[in-house]
Amino acid sequence: MMRYWAFLVGKLAGIAVVLLAAWRLVHVIWPGPDPTLRYKMQPFGTDLGYTMALLGIWLLGVGLVYLAILDQRYRCRACGRRLHMPVSSGAWNSILLRAPRTDYICRFGHGTLRVPDVDLTGTPQPDWHSVDNMWKELEDLETADK
Ligand SMILES: [Zn+2]
């Protein structure tokens, strides 16, 4: 679990570095108000190029944070690796009884993630099920059959 959150913090720190570099680049290109002027006008809101550059940085930041959170949703809660092997289940002709969903699994057997494909109750919340020991669960299934 620590690794999962550490990965998110690392991604957000990387985004902050990228945005700070873009901010510095914009201020190298637009050095600020002319120091010889009596009334110094800040370029934000008065210089279209500068204002559009800041808008671009804002949009870049929002997009990167969105992608980081979207990527984090499909990561293993235990080891932080990307989840694999999506399996669709449920039926579209009976969405109330067997709502369609997609199951993802961690390659190293830490757990499964169930993502509902239908949005019935607001934002669909992914459902994480951790698996303590998948070999023990398989053995339990086998003994339950006998
Ligand atoms: Zn895992």
Domain range summary for the chain, segments of one domain joined by +: 2-73, 84-145
Read off the pLDDT of residues 15-39 as tens digits, 9 standing for 90 and up: 999 999 999 999 998 877 777 888 8
Q: Cα of 140 to ligand 1 centre, how many Å?
A: 21
CA distance 91 to 55: 44
Q: Strand, helix or coil at 75?
A: strand
The beta strands (E) that lie in the chain are given as: 84-89, 101-105, 111-116, 127-130
pLDDT for position 146: 59
| pLDDT at position 13 | 97
Distance in Å, CA 8 to ligand 1 centroid? 15
Separation of 13 CA from ligand 1 center, angstroms?
Answer: 23
**Under a CB-based contact definition with an 8 Å cutoff, are residues 76 and 108 in contact?**
yes
What's the farthest any 2 CA atoms get from each other in the chain?
A: 91
Instruction: Write the pLDDT tens digit of every residue in 29-81.
Output: 887 777 788 888 888 888 899 999 999 999 999 999 999 999 999 999 989 99
Q: What's the gap in Å between 146 CA and the centre of ligand 1?
A: 31
Q: Can you tell me which residue has the tokens 């800040």? A: 42
* CB-based contact 112:132 (threshold 8 Å): no
pTM (2 decimals)?
Answer: 0.76
Residue 144 has pLDDT above 90, yes or no: no
- What per-residue confidence (pLDDT) applies to 58? 97
CA of residue 89 to ligand 1 center, whole Å: 22
Please state which of the ranges 31-35, 89-93, 115-119 shows the lowest mean pLDDT: 31-35
Q: Which residues are within 8 A (CB) of 78 and not within 5 positions of it... i.e. 6 or more apart?
A: 1, 3, 4, 106, 110, 111, 130
Average pLDDT, the chain: 88
